[in-house]
């Protein structure tokens, strides 16, 4: 009986430790970042950066409540993470959630039809494409 109790305690301990790393149901993936602000929940959880302002600017609701957090391939969001982008183009790529693909670029002029948001004194240009 003691062995069963110890096994149960160990299993619960492992689950308690693993649960934060699975925040929002997103598994740790070295090639993607989830911009949710839960930086202590695993290496793939990153600051929210300008995404809450972007979704409010678009009238799409509150980030993390009305709108799911976004995931970015590792290379796309390097300009959003410390120490910041290198070279002329700081960001070029896409981020996404279940509802939108967010095309991003900075360090160059905004393409025609794209919106702009300023964060940390840097202009980021974006275009939202609904998914599905």
Closest listed residue to residue 35, CA positions, set 119, 132, 108, 26: 26
Q: How far is CA 69 from the centre of its chain?
A: 6
- Would the pLDDT of 39 be above 90? no
- Distance CA(117)–CA(56), nearest Å, equals 11
Kindly report the length of the chain: 132
Least confident of 2-6, 45-49, 53-57: 2-6
- Distance CA(70)–CA(58), nearest Å, equals 15
- Would the pLDDT of 103 be above 70? yes
Give the SS3 label for residue 5: helix
Average pLDDT, the chain: 76
- Would the pLDDT of 85 be above 70? no
- Distance CA(64)–CA(52), nearest Å, equals 8
Q: What is the pLDDT of residue 21?
A: 43
- Would the pLDDT of 8 be above 70? no
Q: Are strands 122-130 and 100-106 parallel, antiparallel or unpaired?
A: antiparallel
- Would the pLDDT of 4 be above 90? no
- Distance CA(54)–CA(109), nearest Å, equals 18
Residue 122: left (phi > 0), alpha (psi -120 to 50), or beta? beta
Q: How far is CA 33 from the centre of its chain?
A: 5
- Would the pLDDT of 125 be above 70? yes
């Amino acid at each position: 009986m003691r062995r069963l109790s110890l096994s149960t305690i160990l299993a619960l301990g492992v689950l308690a430790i693993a649960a934060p790393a699975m925040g929002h149901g997103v598994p740790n993936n070295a090639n993607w970042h989830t911009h949710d602000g839960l930086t202590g929940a695993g290496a793939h959880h990153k600051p929210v950066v300008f995404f809450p302002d972007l979704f409010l600017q678009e009238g799409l609701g509150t980030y993390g409540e009305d709108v799911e957090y976004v995931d970015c391939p590792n290379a796309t969001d390097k300009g959003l993470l410390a120490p910041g982008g290198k070279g002329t183009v700081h960001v070029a790529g896409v981020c996404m959630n279940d509802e939108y693909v967010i095309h991003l670029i900075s360090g160059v002029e905004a393409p025609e039809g794209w919106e702009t948001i300023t964060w940390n004194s840097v202009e980021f240009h974006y275009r939202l494409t609904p998914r599905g």
